[in-house]
Amino acid sequence: MKHIVPVKWLLARLYEPDILIVDCRFQLGQPDAGRKAYEESHIPGAVYIDLEQDLSAPIGEHGGRHPLPSIEELVKRLGRSGISNEQRIVAYDDQGGAMASRLWWILSYLGHSSVYVMEEGLAGWQKAGLPVSADKTVIFPKTFVPQPRPEMLADMQEVKSKLGTVGVTLIDSREAPRYRGEVEPIDPVAGHIPGAINFFWGEGRRADGTWKNGDEQQARFADLSQDDEIIVYCGSGVTATPNVLALQEAGFTRVKLYAGSWSDWISYSENPVAVGGRETISE
């Protein structure tokens, strides 16, 4: 796999000088829980990056529940966390890879070429009987030089302009009941963007928590064309990122993240909303 590394891979490289391990644990609705968990125990040498404080901008009228910060702000935050272009970054969480994938996507979007998500997260590390530490990691600020890849990012206007366009596939990464609009525990409006199809992000992993390999991801996305442009969204641009990663593992190259996602889409009252199963929009 290109972007997923097993626990043993990291163990073998744990003390190599260009490896930086990043703990991305975060629980929605409990914003301090991830940092507290990190302070209690983490992989030795890991630094902590917070979904809301480091990888999101403040919530505004638009942009969704986890708005993407400006490139300038991201660069400052990443540098303060000790991230540079020269390092190999290994991110982990205990949320099935969703939070770690957000960091993976952001760094990839900014042009970093050596970013990985550790398989199974901290639970997998501990299951293997490997050491954890409560020691505070000393962070040496670095300079991160961005080389943005705008082809990886979509905004609301682009998504809206491409609804129903032949050769563009819109993927909703949320669980099926939320996609269908049957339940909505977080956002004020239920449903999905018209024309979107549903691929729940959690189905990119096996029952034991390991990630499906490239062939398995290809089978999962077998009905999609690798020639199409694919735009992926979720509730707020976090759990869509494991699907972006999975699509890349499957060989798809024209994949964009709608960073604002559903929570941004519904912040524009004029935007259409669909409920139920898959819909077809004609041009």
Q: What span, in angstroms and rounded, lies between the C-alpha atoms of 266 and 240? A: 17
Q: Is the pLDDT of residue 131 over 60?
A: yes
Q: Say which of 230, 234, 257, 274 is annotated catalytic.
A: 234
pLDDT exceeds 90 at position 77: yes
Q: For residue 28, what pLDDT is reported? A: 85
**In this predicted structure, what is the pLDDT of residue 278?**
61
Distance (Å, whole) CA 183 – CA 171: 18
Strands, E assignment, 128-235 = 153-154, 168-172, 197-198, 229-233
Tens of pLDDT, residues 231-273: 999 999 999 999 999 999 999 999 999 999 999 999 999 999 9
Residue 24 is among the residues annotated as catalytic for this protein: no
Question: At CB < 8 A and 24+ separation, what contacts does 277-281 make?
Answer: 277/180, 278/197, 278/198, 279/194, 279/195, 280/195, 281/163, 281/164, 281/194, 281/195
Mean pLDDT of 40-54: 97
The strand pairing partners of 48, in sequence order, are 23
In whole angstroms, give the CA distance from residue 56 to residue 260.
11
DSSP percent split of the chain into helix, strand, coil, nearest 5:
30, 15, 55
Question: For the domain with range 4-127, which CATH number is right: 3.40.50.970, 2.40.110.10, 3.40.250.10, 2.40.50.100?
Answer: 3.40.250.10
Residues recorded for the chain: 283
Fold of 150-265: Oxidized Rhodanese; domain 1 (3.40.250)
Fold agreement between 4-127 and 150-265: yes
pLDDT band per the 50, 70, 90 thresholds, residue 89: very high
pLDDT tens, position by position, 193-229: 999 999 999 999 999 989 999 999 999 999 999 999 9
Domain boundaries, the chain: 4-127, 150-265
The secondary element (H helix, E strand) that includes residue 91 is strand 88-92
pLDDT band at 283 (very low <50, low <70, confident <90, very high): very low
